[in-house]
Each structure stands twice: as structure tokens, then as C-alpha cells.
Chain A
Amino acid sequence: MKATVYEYDFHQRILARDDPIAFAALADWLYNPLVQDVRKRAGLNADPVLVEEAVGEALLNYHDTPEKYNPSRASLRSYLVMAAYRDFQNARAKEDRLAEHQVSLFDPAFHEGDRAGSQETVEAIEHELQVEELWKLIDEIFPDPTERRIVTLILNKVRSPGPYAQALGLGDLPNDERLRQIRLVKYRITRRLRRRMAQQLERTGGYVQ
């Protein structure tokens, strides 16, 4: 199926490189549907963060090299879904491989909301890295000060939701919703930290530079 008229118009705007809002408007329009499409393909048990990152990378790759897309061969949405799904599969395979070889850091028992798993991850990270190197890496991975505060709480093994809620400004939310949001943020941050650590360790053959 070829690109729709709407997609073709976006594609031309992005190719022209003279419209500062073209990519943002495309992302605004397609991001959520793409995430839904890739999640359907990946299965409901697929890691949603991994799916969303794959969609993000597919969109950003398209932004960087739009000429690779041929609007006469496929719709833009299909093209991006295929690219994102491919990225998702690669990322999942990579995580699986790393989990097999670096058990201490990539404990497959780790799950969202699983405090014991999260705790083991923290301890494993601390074993793998010198503290100074760890903080240098954290500064790079989390430029946002709020995210860094959350990382600090996680690494300090803070379990009470209060400090997390305060750091995230969630004080006004109902209790259930506040706990849900905190779990989600902790999950995303721990996941991102693990993934970037994996990349770093892979690059340096097991040592953090």
C-alpha cells in the first residue's frame, strides 16, 4: 500500500528540511498509533518500554534519513512499524544474550514492581562499578535533575514511596494512582540504567571507562 496523501505531504515537508515543525507534527500524529501497532505485533507481554524506545528510534531514524523511505512502495505508518518492530526484536535479542552472559547485572528475575529484583539489580550494579564511575555515567544517562533524584533514591535503597512522590511532585494524587506512577517511573529508570550499563559494558569488554 502506498503512502496516503497525508503521509506523502508529511514526507515532502520532512525531505525539504525547511519546516521546523514537520517532524514534531508527524510524531504528534503517529507516535501513539505506532506504539499500539508494534505492541500488537510484539505481544501483550512485550516490555512496553522496549516497544516505545523502538518506535522512538524508528521515528528518529526516519527523521535523520527520510530519503530511505519510498512512498510509492509502502505507507509511512507500515514502514515505521516494520522498522520499529525490527529494532524491538534486535533489542530484545540483545537483552536476552546479555542476560545469559552477564547474570549479575541482568538478572532475568527482575520485573517491574518487584522490589527484590530491583534490589538485586542495584547491588549488582554497585559491584560492577566504582562509585565515581557510576555517578559519571548516571549524569550522562539522566540529564534531568528529577530523574537523577529518583536514581539516587533507588541506589540508596529507599523503599518508602514518600520521597519518590515528593521528588516527582505527586503529592496531590490519590494514593493508588501515586503508587502506580512511582512504580512506573522506578521501572523505566531502572530499565534505562540497566540498558545503558549493558551498552557500556559491551563497548568496554566488561569495564566502565
Chain B
Amino acid sequence: MNDYTPSLDRLASLAREHPNLLAGPVTLYKEQEGLDDQRLATMLGCEVKAISRLALCERPREAPHFREDVERIARYIHADVMQLALLIRAAESRYALRQQPGATSPTLLAARDYEEAEEVSTEDKGKPSDG
């Protein structure tokens, strides 16, 4: 194993069990949507290696800090801030729903994603840009 190269992916994988980090929610979202890192990166408009960095970021604080935290993460991984906000909202609701037995049907998830998307979009329109 002399050619073994360390990778942040392994750390990101270990981080899934740490609930304050984004690794768990993002992994769950990828799994449910059948996405790999490359496709998620394309969706977010960032490089594929940024996905492990995203996983190691803290979960954004709730409002009024949510927007500020998401913007900071987006700048760090060079991702589209709106797409990232939508991803985080969707991933976090799925993560929360997973803790509730019997509440994980695809219809419920889709409805929840739609509501979250609307919420983020409205929030975005209602606030002046600070970035």
C-alpha cells in the first residue's frame, strides 16, 4: 500500500455520524436521489472535490442566520448559493423525517421539498443581497 493516498472523502464518510455536520443529510439526499458526487457537483455548479468539503461544513443555523451561513458555505465551495440552499433544506428535512418512523414516503418527501423550495425562494426575494 505504498501508493496509498489520503483523501478527505474518507473523513467525510466518518463525519456522517456527527449530527452537527452536513455529511449525514447530504449523504442521505444523494442516496435517495440516486446521485453520485459528480452529479451533485454539477447540480451545485461546483467542482466534484468540493463535495467532501461541503460534507465537513456545519449544518447552517436556523433563521436569521440560515442565509448568512449558506452564503458562506457557497463561497467556500464555489457553489451556486440558491441551489445549495435548496439542497440543504431538502437534505435536512429528509434527515429529520428519517428519524420519524412512517413519515418517509416519496410523496411526502416531494411535497416537503416543494414547500422548502418555496420558502427559500420567498426568503431570498424578501431580503436584499449582502454578498
Contacts and interface: CB of A to CB of B under 8 A. Distances in A.
Contact of A48 (B4, B36, B76): B4
Given A31-B11, A52-B10, A60 B31 contact: no
A63 B15 CA distance: 10
Contact of B28 (A57, A112, A143, A180): A143
A90 interface: no
A145 B32 CA distance: 10
B21 to A, nearest CB: 7
B58 A27 contact: no
B57 A144 contact: no
Contacts of B10: 52-53, 56
A60 B15 CA distance: 7
Interface string A154-180: 000000000000000100000000001
Interface string B1-26: 11110111011011110101100000
A21 B3 contact: no
Contacts, number: 86
A132 interface: no
B85 interface: no
Nearest to B54: A24
A20 B69 contact: yes
A23 interface: yes
Interface in A22-54: 22-25, 27-28, 31-32, 35-36, 44, 47-48, 52-53
Interface in B29-61: 30-31, 34, 36, 53-54, 56-61
A21 B69 CA distance: 9
Contact of B53 (A24, A36, A143): A24
Contacts of A184: 1, 4
Nearest to A112: B1
A27 to B, nearest CB: 5
A56 B14 contact: yes
Contact of B8 (A28, A57, A180): A28
A24 B28 contact: no
Contacts of A28: 8, 53, 56
Interface in A125-151: 143-146
Given A27-B8, A27-B11, 5 more contacts: A19-B72, A28-B8, A52-B10, A60-B11, A144-B27
Interface of A: 17-25, 27-28, 31-32, 35-36, 44, 47-48, 52-53, 55-57, 59-60, 63-64, 112, 143-146, 169, 180, 184, 187
